[in-house]
Amino acid sequence: MEKTYEYKSQHGSDFSIKIGKLAEQTNGECIIRRGDTILLVTAVASDKPREGIDFFPLICDYQEKLYAVGKIPGGFIKREGKATDDAVLISRQMDRPLRPLFPENFYNDVQVIATPFSVDEDNEPDCMTTIGASIALGISDIPFFGPVAAVNVGYVNGEFVVNPNMNQREKTSLNLTVAGTADAINMVEAGANELSEEEMLEAMMIAHEEIKSMCAFIQTIIDDIGKEKMEVEKEVETELQRKIKDKYTEEIKNSIRTTDKVKREDDIFKIEEACKEDFLEEYPESEDEIHKTVDSIMKKEVRRMISIDKIRPDGRKMTEIRPLSAEVGLLPRTHGSGLFKRGQTQVLSVLTLGSPGEEQVIDSMNRKEVTKRYIHQYNFPPFCVGDIRPLRGPGRREIGHGRLAERALIPVLPDQSDFPYTIRVVSEVLSSNGSSSQASICGSTLALMDAGVPIKKPVAGIAMGLIKEDDSISILTDIQGLEDHLGDMDFKVAGTKDGITALQMDMKIAGINREVLKDALYDAKQARFKILDVITGAIEKPRDDLSKYAPRIFSIDVDPEKVRDVIGSGGKTINKIIDATGVKIETEDDGHITVASNDGDSGKKAIEMIKSIVTNPKAGDIYEGEVKRIMNFGAFVEIAIGKEGLLHISQIDTKRTEKVEDVLSVGDKIRVKVTDIDRQGRINLSRKALLIEEKEKSNKED
């Protein structure tokens, strides 16, 4: 039976929910509509867990459909294929607030799919996927501690805007997405133009007020038609687990307390091997249980040490940052490079500059053609954590971390009119023990300044953590891998000394309140300032000059009607310039022309050639021309590509010229002066006038 529910928002971002119309074989489904944006969100779970599984296999997918915006996919196949980066990021954004809201020991496969059927310009589908997923899961028989909702917040003309429309998104200095339950926030994603901690906190609280209202609405739907939930078996402590705890807890405690990640992992491995020797004969086929038990003891002890004893595994204070170092200019042939190290996390960022035509063109659901001038990519090879695995393309994590770093640095990049380069930065994680995404932001700041990119300010990032045991809450600055893995929060904050440029927060518990967020933001600010001091200690400001291996880019704005003259019939004119100078030339319909060259001289020459094409000659102008044709009465000299003038035989030399061929040959390069241009636009030239001027000048000097 179909049912429809209407949500009325105080901010004007109403939406409707229809249930029971489509996808009837799912555990739960809904159609969510806001404006003309319509999504089908489905939730399906397996009847029972896979044998031997000890983790929760949740899959969240947002699959773009270009028919939703009336577009046909590009390329030869004309079909959606590999998920775009934007689709991957929306899938992650849907996954992150849902994942902590499933019960422990629930190991059934669960898949949530959001499919956009129609998308308008004003209503972005990203937050709608989370709302729809919350409803589909909430009304299903899948165990889920929702509801959860998500909202976008912008900052336009000094005011916060909930779920901004297209025009507002173009003007906003904040792109914030917040998700959470009625009680707390559990996911944040943001890019900002140096907003203060107080402004960011206010924006999150405004978002949470709307989330509370939406969660109450979703709960009415669940109360109305929700199914009875599956039972989840509670885990009971076994005899083997008790024996391992009794014998090895102290050894595990001692192994945890070290700054060396490799040593800690080696010690834990040895403890597991000792457990196997002790218990496998008595408890055969219990290797997985031994591993889980050791891991459980380690988790409980780390959390107890931090929350009760206020001691971190490596002995640091709660707000203490691991040792920092920064270097630039490591790679001689690249355009810029920076190496940043924080504890055992080490990232090398490498920068390449290209012409404007090398911008990334994205085939997306946006109706306008989307291009990216700044491209930040993040790689996490297996050796950085001592692993072995096949090399594949970037996964969701790599794409997400790359986009976070990109967001953090975009606000400080120079305007394209001042620095017309395409910029690609690749961050290679060489060693990882937590917070590699934030280290990539620091390394990339170094690489940008090393390359001579005139960024407005340096940017640094720090990852904050949290351990919550009953009423005890411990906020950790600069979390290492163990604290991230066993903790309750990963809160990444990036920015300059003047404000925040990017945020990302994920929770493993239901969420956190305003006071915890406020304290975490304050501690992150203090840590960010210390890191920025290390960055500017390595390189105080962007270099004055680009690398000698970087292309030189020149630009010129011409009358749009003249662009066709620069291109010429079939590209003949522009190809002549390219052949003569070896440059790359890109033209735009508005008359903006850019020239990229490997050296300054060839670029300047190409610009001069373009100027000569688009500038109408006038009497008195002097040109370096080429003799193209010889006639009885004179020679035709090309003074610019596509522009010729007549050098009459009487104007070739100061003395009488009997035959043109006595002085000139086809292909000769000569200096000529424009004497006049007749009504038909015919250009008359003189070489004789320049020779006379040179002789008079020489006589004066003598």
Where along the chain do its domains lie? 3-225, 239-308, 324-538, 552-614, 621-699
Q: Which of these ranges, 16-20, 202-206, 228-232, 694-698, has the smallest mean pLDDT?
A: 694-698
Q: Which position has the token pair 């310039």?
A: 577
Assigned CATH for 552-614: 3.30.1370.10
- Enter the tokens of residue 448: 């940008």
Q: Tell me the sheet residues that pair with 465.
A: 476, 490
Query: Is residue 21 scored above 90 in pLDDT?
Result: yes
pLDDT of res. 458: 98
| Helix, coil or strand: residue 240 | helix
Query: What amino acid is encoded at 523 in this protein?
Result: D
Report the C-alpha gap between 565 and 534 in whole angstroms. Answer: 52
Rounded distance, CA 476 to CA 466, Å? 6
Contacts of 214 (CB under 8 A, 6+ apart): 7, 9, 131, 147, 149, 151
Contacts 24+ apart (CB under 8 A), 267-276: 268/294, 268/298, 274/248, 275/244, 275/248
**What integer is the mean pLDDT of 602-614?**
87
Give yes or no for residue 495 having a pLDDT over 70.
Answer: yes
pLDDT of 702: 62
Question: Which of 85, 193, 174, 188 has the alpha carbon at shortest distance from 459?
Answer: 193
Q: Between these two residues, 589 and 228, which has the higher pLDDT value?
A: 228
Rounded to an integer, the average pLDDT of 637-658 is 89
Instruction: Report, as an integer, the average pLDDT of 679-686.
Output: 89
What value does the mean pLDDT take over residues 127-131? 97
Q: What is the DSSP string of 32-86?
A: EEETTEEEEEEEEE-SSPPTT--S--EEEEE---GGGGT----TTT-S--SPPHH
Domains 3-225 and 324-538 in one fold: yes
**Tell me, what's the pLDDT at 523?**
95
- 223 annotated as belonging to a binding site for a ligand: no
The tokens for 497 are 């000394």
Total-model pTM = 0.85
CA–chain centroid gap for 696, Å, is 64
> Domain 239-308 falls in which CATH fold?
Arc Repressor Mutant, subunit A (1.10.10)
Model confidence over 564-588: pLDDT tens digits? 888 888 888 899 889 989 889 888 8
- pLDDT of res. 331: 96
Please name which of 418, 411, 419, 438 lies closest in space to residue 427, comparing C-alpha atoms. Answer: 438
Instruction: For residue 132, report the phi and psi dihedrals to the nearest 5 degrees.
Output: -65, -40
Say how far apart CA 163 and CA 161 lie, in whole Å. 6
Pairing of strands 58-62, 110-118: parallel
pLDDT (tens digit, 9 = 90+) per residue, 53-102? 888 999 999 999 999 999 888 778 888 888 889 999 999 999 999 999 99
Distance CA 409, CA 445 (A): 8
CA atoms within 13 A on the CB side of 661: 2
- Percent of the chain topping pLDDT 90: 58
Structure tokens at 195: 């907003």
pLDDT at 644 over 70: yes
* Amino acid occupying residue 51: E
Contacts of 333 (CB under 8 A, 6+ apart): 549
Q: Is 484 annotated as a binding residue?
A: yes
Q: What is the pLDDT of residue 277?
A: 86
Q: How confident is the model at residue 138 (pLDDT cuts 50, 70, 90)?
A: very high
Q: Per the CATH hierarchy, to which homologous superfamily does domain 621-699 belong?
A: Nucleic acid-binding proteins (2.40.50.140)
pLDDT > 60? residue 367? no
List, for residues 197-254, the tens digit of each pLDDT value.
Answer: 999 999 999 999 999 999 999 999 999 999 999 998 887 778 888 888 888 888 888 8
Q: Which CATH superfamily is domain 324-538 in?
A: GHMP Kinase, N-terminal domain (3.30.230.70)
Question: What is residue 308's predicted lDDT score, i.e. its pLDDT?
Answer: 84
Query: Which secondary-structure segment (H or E) carries 245?
Result: helix 239-256
Query: Look-up: residue for tokens 């009847």?
Result: 47
Query: According to the model, what pLDDT value does residue 306 have?
Result: 87
Which pLDDT does position 416 carry in this prediction?
Answer: 87
Name which of 316, 340, 325 is nearest 427 in CA terms.
340
**φ and ψ at 240, to 5 degrees?**
-60, -45
The SS3 assignment for 642 reads coil
Average pLDDT of the chain is 91
So what's the pLDDT on residue 349? 98
Contacts of 485 (CB under 8 A, 6+ apart): none
Q: Which CATH architecture has domain 3-225?
A: 2-Layer Sandwich (3.30)
